[in-house]
Structure formats: C-alpha cells, structure tokens
Amino acid sequence: MGDVNGSSVEVESAAVVPDGGLPDEARQEQFSLGFVRMVAAAAGFSIKSHETDYDGVDVTIAASAEYGTFYCAALEMQLKCTTRHSLLKDDHLSWQLERARFLKLTNPKRYLPAFIGVLLIPPDLTDLLEMTEERMVSSCRMYWEYAGNLGSIADDRDSKTLKLPRSNLFDVDGLKGIMQMIGEGGLE
C-alpha cells in the first residue's frame, strides 16, 4: 500500500507494472551516464554535464582536491554503451569510432585530457540491476582509454577501431589514480 497525494493506493505484488517506455538506445545512454556518476561519486569527484556532445565529450569529471601541481583537476569523457559482448576480446574491448568524433576526442589542443569509456551491459536490459535491501549489483562494466593513447586515423578512413584494454576498468581506484596523475602535472 502506498500514499499518493494523501490517498492510499493498493498495489498487488503479482500485477505487471509497465516500464517507463524509454527506447533501448536512450536507456543505454542514461545508464552509462548513471554508471559514471556512481563511480565518480564513490571516488569523491563531481560530474559536470554537457548540454550536447558536440565537442566529442559527454561529461567532465572534476576533483575538488589540491594535488601537487593543480587544484581541481578534471578530465572529460566520451561515453558509449553496448550490449554486443562479441566486442570483448581476450585483452581488450573493440570499439568503432567515427572519424569526426575520433578527431575531436584526440585533438591535441584540448584544454582538458579526454578519455573514451565504453560500458558493456547485458543484452537483456531487464538484467541491468539486481537490488535488495542490502546491496545493488550490476553485471555491467566500463573499459576506458586516454585519448592521447588512441593514435591517429588514416586520411582515407571513415572510422577507427579502438582497442580499450581490459586492464583499464573504469572503477573507483582507477579513476582516483588517473585524477592523481592529472593533478600532479599530466598523463604523458
């Protein structure tokens, strides 16, 4: 039984409740944003959203700490999401990135360091989360790479296949480590 605007609402546990109707692609986008927000918050960082990803990035992750060289270190991320587990290889996740996005992401004149993160989620979107009173569990994982490590793209190519190392798991410790490197003066 729940309370809606002062009146009781009876909900049968066996009743089928429709989902919110968000198309799968939009659901994936929202889940990848939520995933990054959750990891960043657990690491003690904030997220600055972008109204568009015209500049090749979706979010900025920012510290509020003072490091050896910089105060409030930050990085930018382009986020992708897929259910295609065939892209996961023994040592990397393959991702095809279109030329225009690749050039924006890897532009050497970027003010903030840029990364790409690809979230691998279950094919059945009803398996995104399992929740109990004790915990929230997700079988999703994100692999990421610094744009400066992505190399270049040939002039005659419309896209480039990126290889995001499986060792580059987007997690709390990894994010803290990258932010520490940025705060100490860079990634190069």
Q: What is the pLDDT of residues 153-171, one digit of tens each?
A: 999 999 999 999 999 999 9
Q: Is residue 142 part of a domain?
A: yes
83-135 pLDDT, tens per residue? Answer: 999 999 999 999 999 999 999 999 999 999 999 999 999 998 888 889 999 99
Q: Is residue 2 part of a domain?
A: no
Is this prediction's pTM over 0.75?
Answer: yes
Residues 162 and 128: beta-carbon distance below 8 Å: no
Q: Is residue 172 part of a domain?
A: yes
Q: Is residue 6 part of a domain?
A: no
Q: Is residue 98 part of a domain?
A: yes
Q: Is residue 11 part of a domain?
A: no
What was the pLDDT predicted at 93?
98
44-76 pLDDT, tens per residue? Answer: 999 998 888 788 899 999 999 999 999 999 999
Q: Is residue 56 part of a domain?
A: yes
Distance separating alpha carbons of residues 62 and 179, to the nearest angstrom: 8
Task: Name the one residue in this structure whose structure tokens are 């050039």.
Answer: 103
Residues 175 and 43: beta-carbon distance below 8 Å: yes
Q: Is residue 54 part of a domain?
A: yes
Domain count, the chain: 1
Q: HEC profile for the chain?
A: CEEECCEEECCCCCCCCCCCCCCHHHHHHHHHHHHHHHHHHHHCCEEEECCCCCCCCCEEEECCCECCCCECCEEEEEEEEECCHHHECCCEEEEEEEHHHHHHHCCCCCCCCEEEEEEECCCCHHHCCEECCCCEECCCEEEEEEHHHCCCCCCCCCEEEEEEECCCECCHHHHHHHHHHHHCCCCC
The mean pLDDT value for 28-39 works out to 94
CATH label of the domain that carries residue 26: 3.40.1350.10
Distance separating alpha carbons of residues 127 and 140, to the nearest angstrom: 9
Could you list the residue range(s) of the whole structural domain that residue 65 is in? 22-183
